Structure 1
Amino acid sequence: MSSFLFDNHKNSFEDALLPMMSLREVVMFPRSIVPLFVGREASIKAIENAVATHDKKIFLVAQRAPETERPTPDDLFTVGTVSKILQMLRLPDGTIKVLFEGLYRARWEPEDTSEEFNADNVLVRVARLPDEDMAGAEADALIRATQEALEQYGRINKKLAPETILAINSITLPGKLADAVMPHLKVDYIKKQGVLEETSAIKRLEEAYGFLQGEIEISSLEKRIKNRVKQQMEKNQKEYYLNEQLKAINKEMGREDDPAAEAAEFEERLRAKDMSDEAREKTLREIKKLKQIPPSSAEYTVVRNYVEWILDLPWNVLQPTDLDLTQAETILNEDHYGLDKPKQRILEYLAVQSLVETLKGPILCLVGPPGVGKTSLAKSIARAMGREFVRLSLGGVRDEAEIRGHRRTYVGALPGKIIQSLKRVKFNNPVFCLDEVDKMSTDFRGDPSSALLEVLDPEQNGAFNDHYLDLDYDLSKVFFITTANALHTIPLPLQDRMEIIRIPGYLENEKMQIGRRFLMPKNLKQHGLKEANLSISDNAMLEVVRRYTREAGVRNLERELASICRKVARKIVEKKDPGKSVAVTKQNLQSYLGVTKFRHGEKEEKAQVGLCNGMAYTELGGEMLMVEAVIMPGSGKVEITGKLGDVMQESAKAAVSYLRSRSALFGLKPDFHKEIDIHIHVPEGAIPKDGPSAGITLATTLISALLNLPVRNDLAMTGEITLRGRVLPIGGLREKLLAAHRGRIRTVIIPEENEKDLKEVPEAILKDLEIIRVAHMDQVLETALVCADPEKLFCGRSDTTPNLSSTLMKEAPNPETRH
């Protein structure tokens, strides 16, 4: 039982027991008659029990929390009212309407605590509280003041009948008068319960008198509000009436939104704002329009939002830039390893800006595979320049309004994302990163890439016109940086606006340095480890790079290092030794990362017929591409598989046509193709492949299969082929050479016109590769095919001549020793 079970009152309990019914948000007072609708099954049983066996007497007590469905003793107040049921009426919906009369106040306690307590189905003992009504001058004065207040309240509140007021004012005892007044006041049930529990009649009447005065004030205020509204409204204008009533309520409470005051505030902000004359004039016109529109009008909200947007934008607010080249270079080197060309370009920009007061922001486009640090480099640039950094992802954006904004004729119109970002950053010269610019799409809502033309054109973005603002906004101070994985998906006009800076994949030694300098400290901190808890040897780190990751960037490397840190953290927690040191070596690496995921080195163990190493440039960086071809007896069908795109399909067809056009030189019959079927396949068919750089690889594979001559296994090639055998230049040479270097290739064939691109290739790569430059397909075959005398490849043969390929193969040297 709870602590309120009245040890001090046990002697005053009556012997009789009464059924109890709990009330929700209702307090029953003595000498008051209250009708209640009862629906709870337990409450109905309590009423029926009172009528049947207790002379219609029942104990009514209020719940502390009205939402409680099955209250316990702690959920009920300690004081209630013993009442009598005057009338009971059953309704069709199963509820009953009961008329109760309060008799006297009483405390209660359960009769039997051993059973489960149910407040609406239990007999309780009640102890009548003393009703100490007393006379005297103080009591008389309080009674008279209460009676006068009640008459005043009756004049304001028409719901209180005059007969009721007369009946209440005839009471001359303070306690009884308080009990009679309280049921007629709109006071919270908690406050009413407090009056009911008060034992002193004088204090009870004082509290009732205070609540009565509060109700008089509220009723008077309500009446004044209604009178004010009534004077202002016109007949039969319900909407006008409601708006004015709300306005009057707000005015009484001191929180009215005064349109005139709001317009004056906008004018003051406009005077302090540094903006263009055009924007100032238009804003002033909109503020004047705002004064003439009723606040209840929908147009008021539209105009108000527009003015706020204009005043919130940082028109000419520039963030001070501390141009310290030495410090900027230090920051760039701290955040990123390598990336010399992008860093040089940023430092050049800072140097020029320090000499020129007004310099238009450059538009840089960082292009490279995922995980090489494009976005993080943009953050480092902002930190080096001391400017705010803003990032906007354009991946999947297909609505032009995301860039240019919506026109104000639309519901819920907003400025474009660029203007929204500038409002958020509060400066007009941040470093603004437009991420994934190559992944925008187009549909019926417009072409967002075309909308970016004005944003990224240094000659036009000084007067960028957002559809929502309908004003020229200067974006020339913003340092825009875009990022992309591939250039071919970016429209050429958009590429023309940007300065392309390629960020290729990392070399093995660069990945190891990044892992040591950046990724390991970051992961140790994220996993709650210290440097003393984990050490990874150089051989182990190299093994992680070679056999557990195959990527241009370092994201997978970071994931593998995080996996090692998690396992080390588990060991430390299991051993309960925070100072435990774990050493990861090449020998125990598999216990942390499992079996190796990749085979280090892509090349085959020996030269094979109809198998050639190609090189491809994808969004993930450079990749090795194996091409296979087989010749079968048939009727001249050519089948190309491996989920190749249209460009590679055409390259394969061009290779077949080239071979047929030179069949005589290769010692083949003119109609040789009618007797065979050709199947060209690029493995890993689930991965889409396309691009104009596999022509010579496809042709070499096909010729190798037809002439039965192996292709060198230590050689890879890239280049496009024409029908006449010319080798055309390709793109992504640096990434392709990195892939060949990762695949342990020793010789690479590239188009002659790509020689200029070798300057971009690191010296560490060039010294390990033999680069052969070719201009014609004949040069490719002489280098790639394994035969004793390469010059005999193009001598031709008669129908009676033995198979040329068999003759050439007799003296074929070991391809591993051909250098």
Structure 2
Amino acid sequence: MGSNHKKTIPLLPLRGLLVFPSMVLHLDVGRDKSVKALDQAMMEDNSFIFLATQEEVQIEEPTPDDIYRIGTISKVRQMLKLPNGTIRVLVEGLYRAKIIDYVNDDTYFEVTYQKLDDEEQEGLEMDALSRAVLDLFEQYINASKKVSPETLATVSDINEPGRIADVIASHLPLKIKDKQRILETISVKERLEKILDILNNERELLELEKKISQRVKKQMEKTQKEYYLREQMKAIKKELGEKDGIAGEVAELREKLKDLDAPDYVKEKIKKEIDRLEKIPAASAESGVIRTYIDWLFDIPWTESTEDDLDIHRAEEILDQEHYGLEKAKERVLEYLSVQKLVKKMKGPILCLVGPPGVGKTSLAKSIAKSLGRKVVRISLGGVRDESEIRGHRRTYVGALPGRIIQGMKTAGTVNPVFILDEIDKMSSDFRGDPASALLEVLDPEQNNSFSDHYIEIPYDLSKVMFITTANSTHTIPRPLLDRMEILNISGYTEIEKLHIAQKYLLPRQLEAHGLSKDKLQVQEGALIEVIRRYTREAGVRNLEREMATLCRKAAKIIVAGEKKKVIVTAKNLAQYLGKPKYRYGMAERENQIGAVTGLAWTPVGGDTLTVEVSVYPGKGKLTLTGQLGDVMQESARAAFSYIRAKVEELQIEPDFYEKKDIHIHVPEGAIPKDGPSAGITMATALVSALTGKKVSKSVGMTGEITLRGRVLPIGGLKEKTLAAHRAGLTTIIIPKENEKDLEDIPDSVKKDLEFVLVDHLDQVLEKALVK
């Protein structure tokens, strides 16, 4: 043992480092104890030092227990003091040694040691092991690229198997613990086997690493390629001025949202929906649903309104210009406009224009909008039977849409349009809900400031809308709905009004539509009156306009064929153009009759006259009613019959007539269903006339309900009935006394031609109607 004469040697503890025998290495020494140990080693002539490794790197001041017992005796080859006080040394490992004991550990460590020699083993097995290790090491070097190929040459030149193991171990990236294990393995064979094991592991690890890195690289390449292509696509789209997919759409919507003038809760809802749209894949069906919903929220007006143009005189001009007559309706509209002018914000009233077809309800509603300067929306409720038509469908359904109300608001584009709901009396309800009840929320001024549509889901304010509804009659409108509307009755026109309308509106309009002028076609007043009386029977003027159109077409044909240059239509030649008259003018009888009385009736198309006929013949007291009479009318007939039985003496009728005679009551136009209470006095008068043989005056018309005691009760529709009587050429009208208040509705032009007899008992009726 080269240094056995000197049992002690300075020890330098190494941190995170291990020196194998035959390994040359630079060390930086900075710790006090270590520097002193070095100094001590340099003082010896052979400058040997014991290098052993600390078990834990962190320990700054190690004790003998913290240092491995086996280390390497090394020679200090060079020593250099660096400016920062550290000493750099070059050491060369010589051989393994084991610490026997610590002699000194104050200023520096000093130990006694025992040299450990390799257990040399010769033979083929060792050669084979060495070769296997070298082969594997070569593979490792090729795969790892961390060790230079020159190292392989160096290692291959070594002959001793033990040194081969040590040199390879010093080049491998092992943990200190593993290196220490190899250092402590004295048996060369075991040491080589350990190295073989380690190299095998390393090679597998390297292969795995390679695979992983290749996979990552592939993935990276694919991602990069996709990214590159996407960027190219973006650039192309940008050049074309297209926005990119959903992202572009979302960006566009967000921009649009900034400019939207709407309440905060609406903006909040839209923002949420845009966020949802962004997260959902563009291909999913939900995406389209959300997109449509957002579009609806953008399209509905939330704050846009038109400025009301409240010039009363101008409004009056517009209404007069477009409508003749309709005084009451116009008056009500002008009142509303005046109030609007005084009160800046008023809950819009809900007007219901009730009247027969063709009297101009819808066009009056349009004129109201025009006089206000508001937008007009019109929807027809005829035949609507599904509640979701009003309230919209839930968005979960395929093809869901908002209801007609919200759709109308979108069309209008303002929050204060005039909204015309046509044919409100023609709605029906079935298993799909009751649309009329859904309309309550729309038309109730207390509720409609937060109308909720199933599709939109956000409360919508309808309180600024002016709703105008139209109906032919109020019977079929549910009470609660009727209660929320203000009824404006528009009854039919008188002959004189119709004449004015034909001259001022209808004929000029038709002339223009048919490319004619006043020079080419003239229709005289007499001809117009004839058309009104004998070719049309209606409350409105729709058929009258059709007849005007017919005249224009006939005239156009004559002029184009070159037969005449100018066509003049007179009362005499009217039949040439329009054919034979369709109606008999005047339903008044030609002479006084027994058992035939002219009654006045109200129909949805205006007033009409009905003749009630009674015939009496021998029999057994059977009462027959014909002419499609409804229950109420049949009851009126029985009531009249009972009244007469009770008053036989006063009326000078045979007391037992009801046992010896059969009575037949008939109301002509037998195919048309008729009902209502107001034929009571008409039937009673006809019965009395037939039973007494007294004639009824041909110029008298009558209307009124009868009681068993002969009292006459009030009826409705007096204006229409009066117009019908006037048109029929009657001169005297018997009406219930309680209807006196309705006489002010009747145009003066009609009143002056008629005598009104107000009655409250049947006696007065008979007094006036029967010819003495």
Query: Same-fold call, TM > 0.5?
Result: yes
Contact 1:433 1:482 in 2 (8 A): yes
Q: Identify which of 608, 612, 625 aligns with 1:640.
A: 625
Q: Tell me the equivalent position of 1:52.
A: none
Partner of 1:453: 440
CA distance in structure 1 between the aligned counterparts of 2:241 and 2:586, rounded to whole angstroms? 79
Residues 1:586 and 2:577 are matched in the alignment:
no
Q: Does 1:512 align with 2:495?
A: no
CA distance in 1 between counterparts of 2:711 and 2:460 reads: 52
Larger radius of gyration: 2
Aligned with residue 287 of structure 2, among 300, 306, 309: 300
Partner of 1:616: 601
- Shift of residue 228, structure 1, vs aligned partner: 7.7
Match of 1:222 in 2: none
- Distance apart, 1:567 and its partner CA: 1.3
- Structure 1 residue ranges without an equivalent (≥5): 1-225, 233-245, 788-819
What residue number does 2:756 align with?
771
Equivalent residue for 2:328, pick from 341, 344, 348: 341
| Residue 772 of structure 1, CA deviation | 0.9
1:443 corresponds to: 430
Alignment of 1:88-103 (within 5 A): none
Residues 676 and 439 (structure 1 numbering): CA distance in 2 closer, same or farther, change over 3 Å? Answer: same
Q: CA deviation at 1:429?
A: 1.3
SS at match of 2:328: helix
What is residue 500 of structure 1 aligned with on the other side?
A: 487
Q: Among 376, 390, 394, which residue is 1:389 paired with?
A: 376
Deviates further, 466-475 or 777-786: 777-786
2:637 to 634, 652, 659: 652
Aligned in 2, Cα 1:268/1:653: closer, same or farther, shift over 3 Å? farther
CA distance in 2, matches of 1:255, 1:556: 56
Alignment of 1:265-276 (within 5 A): 265-276=252-263
Q: Secondary structure at the match of 2:639?
A: helix
SS of structure 1 residue aligned to 2:651: coil
Paired residue type of 2:669? E
Q: Could you say which residue in structure 2 is the equivalent of 1:780?
A: 765
Q: Is the 8 A contact 2:377 2:411 kept in 1?
A: no
Cα distance in structure 1, aligned partners of 2:705 and 2:224: 84
> Residue 266 of structure 1: SS of its match in structure 2?
helix
- Which string of whole-angstrom CA distances, capped at 9 and with x for unpartnered residues, describes residues 726-768 of structure 1? 2111111011000000011111111111111111111121111
1:466 matched to 2:453? The reply is yes
Identity of aligned residues (%): 60
Distance 1:729 1:262, change over 3 A: same
Structure 2 counterpart SS, 1:432: strand
Superposition map of 1:118-133 within 5 A:
none
**SS at the partner of 1:263?**
helix
Residue by residue, what CA displacement relative to the aligned partner does 1:209-263 show, whole Å, maximum 9, x if unpaired? xxxxxxxxxxxxxxxxx9789989xxxxxxxxxxxxx999999998575323323
1:664 is displaced (CA, Å) by 4.3
Q: Helix, strand or coil for the counterpart of 1:412?
A: coil
SS in 1 for 2:753: coil
Q: Deviations over 1:385-431 (max 9, x none)?
A: 11221111111111111111112232221111111011122112111
Q: Give how far 1:717 is off.
A: 0.7
Query: 1:288 offset after TM fit, Å?
Result: 2.3
Gap regions ≥5 residues in structure 2 = 1-220, 228-232
Could you tell me which residue of structure 2 aligns to residue 488 of structure 1? 475
Report 1:624-703 matches (<5 A).
624-668=609-653, 671-703=656-688
Q: 1:258 aligns with which of 235, 245, 254?
A: 245
Q: CA deviation at 1:660?
A: 2.7
- Which residue in 1 is equivalent to 2:708? 723
Q: Which amino acid aligns with 1:499?
A: E
Corresponding position of 1:202? none
Pick closer, same or farther for the CA change 1:227–1:619 going to 2, 3 Å: farther
1:749 and 1:653 map into 2 onto residues whose CA distance is 21
- AA aligned to 2:770 is L
Deviations 1:314-345 (A, max 9, x none): 01110122222222211111111111111122
Q: Once the 2 structures are TM-superposed, how far is the Cα of residue 528 of structure 1 from its aligned partner?
A: 0.8
Q: Distance in 2 between matches of 1:386 and 1:784?
A: 54
Contact 1:229–1:248 under 8 Å retained in 2: no
**2: CA distance between counterparts of 1:664 and 1:403?**
62
The aligned residue for residue 790 of structure 1 is none
From the superposition, tell whether residues 254 and 507 of structure 1 become closer, same or farther in structure 2 (CA, over 3 Å): closer
Query: Secondary structure of 2:568's partner?
Result: strand
Partners of 1:670 and 1:276 in 2: how far apart? 82
| C-alpha RMSD of the superposition | 2.5
Q: State the shift of 1:692 in Å.
A: 2.3
Match of 2:356, as an amino acid?
A: P
Give the drift of 1:543.
1.7
Of the three residues 500, 520, 523, the one matched with 1:536 is 523
Distance between the aligned counterparts of 2:346 and 2:459, measured in 1? 19
C-alpha separation in 2, matches of 1:776 and 1:597: 38
SS at match of 2:352: strand
Q: Deviations over 1:142-182 (max 9, x none)?
A: xxxxxxxxxxxxxxxxxxxxxxxxxxxxxxxxxxxxxxxxx
Counterpart for residue 807 of structure 1: none
CA distance in 2, matches of 1:569, 1:585: 17
Q: Secondary structure at the match of 1:501?
A: strand
Question: Deviation of residue 656 (structure 1)?
Answer: 2.1
Correspondence for 1:752: 737
Conserved 8 A contact 1:363-1:456: yes
The residue that corresponds to 2:583 in the other structure is: 598
Give the Cα–Cα distance (whole angstroms) in 1 for the partners of residues 462 and 577 of structure 2.
51
The counterpart of 1:545, out of the listed 532, 543, 560, is: 532
2: distance between equivalents of 1:469 and 1:664? 74
Helix, strand or coil for the counterpart of 2:677?
Answer: coil
In the alignment, the residues of structure 2 paired with residue 563 and residue 600 of structure 1 have an alpha-carbon distance, to the nearest angstrom, of: 21
User: Match of 2:268?
Assistant: 281
Q: Does 1:430 align with 2:417?
A: yes
Mapped contact 1:228–1:248 kept (Cα < 8 A): no
| TM-fit CA distance, 1:489 | 1.6
Q: What CA distance in whole angstroms lies between the structure 1 residues aligned with 2:633 and 2:568?
A: 48
